[in-house]
Structure 1
Amino acid sequence: MFSIYVISMLILMISMMIMFFASILSKKKNSDREKSSPFECGFDPKYSSRLPFSLQFFLITIIFLIFDIEIALILPLILTISFSNLLTWTITSLIFMLILLIGLYHEWNQGMLNWSN
């Protein structure tokens, strides 16, 4: 047991020394303004790198992710039908589908699904 402890400490010390020496040797000594600026084919950038994005596109993406996760939750319902009580399975799946439809109606009613304004 003692030899495992000694070997693990030896491995830990060697790896720490290698990381220490690697961090010392890999430091860039000259930090230049031109080197730290974004590179665009040798020219100064024409536009800012912080461009605004469409909020509508972001909302559509979030809605897609939410419904994608919901589909991943619906798929196991097919496999669990043979292992569970039919009445319980039907009520559970209907409640889940009802919640999804209410959410879809709310998003449609709020105008989140309209791409063009």
Structure 2
Amino acid sequence: MQAVQALAASHPGYFRAYSVVGLMALIGVLFVGTAFTANRLLRPFAPTPEKLLAYECGVDPVGEGWAQTQIRYYVYAFLYVIFAVDAIYLFPWATVFSAPGFGAGTLVEMGVFIGFLAVGLLYAWKKGVLEWS
């Protein structure tokens, strides 16, 4: 306890910065809690069997609510995320690459990064994941 008090005495603004963060977190939690409580108190509540049915795009539900999805859709989504992250990484790299003194190092780093992506794409292509059937 004395160590914490000594640290607080030697750095008076140190804990003040954390108190602002803690206060903002508390205000955020109170705001969300108040919104959820107001929603529960003010909403109408009249459940009927028809209101509890699954509904999508005006089509009446038929059968179970569970349906099997092809794994290839997830693979395409995963590949999209990988290349979206690649595109996001390229913009800051281009700005650093243009700065003096960073040319060769950043070029090697980007080569390694794109090499890893190319190996992943080659693996997906060899497995036949990219073929739509």
- Aligned residue number for residue 100 of structure 1: 117
Aligned to 1:69: 85
CA distance 1:26–1:98, change in 2 (3 Å): closer
Q: 58, 62, 73: which one pairs with 1:57?
A: 73
Alpha carbons of 1:94 and 1:27: their partners in 2 closer, same or farther (altered >3 Å)?
A: same
Structure number with larger C-alpha Rg: 1
Identify which range, 93-102 or 75-84, moves more after superposition: 75-84
Extract unaligned runs of 5+ from structure 1.
1-11
What TM-score does the superposition give when structure 1 sets the normalisation length? 0.64
Whether the 8 Å contact between 2:96 and 2:102 is mirrored in structure 1 is no
Change (3 A) 1:19 1:86: closer
Identity %: 22
The alignment covers a number of residue pairs equal to 100
TM-score (norm 2): 0.57
**Greater relative contact order (Cα < 8 A, sep 6+):** 1
CA change 1:21–1:62 in 2 (3 A) is closer
Could you tell me which runs of 5 or more consecutive residues in structure 2 were left unpaired when the two chains were aligned: 1-29
**Structure 1 42/59 Cα, relative in aligned 2: closer, same or farther at 3 Å?**
closer
> Following the alignment from structure 1 to structure 2, what is the Cα–Cα distance between the partners of residues 22 and 73?
41
